[in-house]
Amino acid sequence: MLHEHTLTALRDMLRRREISSTELTQHCLDRIAKHSDLNAFVTLDESGAMAAAAVADKQLASGEADLLTGVPIAHKDIFCTRGVLTTCGSKMLENFVSPYDATVVERFHQAGSVTIGKTNMDEFAMGSSNETSFFGSVKNPWDPDRVPGGSSGGSAAAVAACLVAGATGTDTGGSIRQPAAFCGLTGLKPSYGRVSRYGMIAFASSLDQGGPITRNAEDAALMLQCMAGFDPRDSTSINAPAPDMATLLGAQVRGLKLGLPKEFFDTSVDAEVLEKVRESLAVLERLGATLVDVSLPNSPAGIPCYYVIAPAEASSNLSRFDGVRFGHRSEHAEELVDLYENSRAEGFGEEVKRRILIGTYALSAGYYDAYYLKAQKIRRVIAQDFETAFEQCDVIVGPTSPTTAFPLGAKTQNPVAMYLNDIFTNTVNLAGLPGLSVPCGFDTAGLPVGLQLIGKFMDEASLLSTAHQLQQETDWHQRMPAEY
DSSP string across 240-254: -PPPPHHHHH---ST
Compute the residue count for the chain. 484
Strand ordering across the sheet containing 257-261: 41-44, 114-119, 72-76, 166-171, 209-214, 186-189, 435-442, 448-454, 395-399, 257-261, 290-294
End-to-end Cα distance, the chain: 11
Q: Which of 152, 147, 89, 150 is nearest to 419 (CA)?
A: 150
User: Quick count: other Cβ atoms within 10 Å of Cβ 342?
Assistant: 18
Give the closest residue to 264 by CA, choosing from 294, 227, 232, 241.
Answer: 294
> Do 280 and 474 touch, CB atoms closer than 8 A?
yes
In whole angstroms, what is the distance from residue 414 CA to residue 114 CA? 40
Catalytic site residues? Answer: 76, 151, 175
Q: Do the strands 186-189 and 209-214 form a parallel or antiparallel pair, or are they unpaired?
A: antiparallel
What's the CA gap between 482 and 4, in Å, rounded? 12
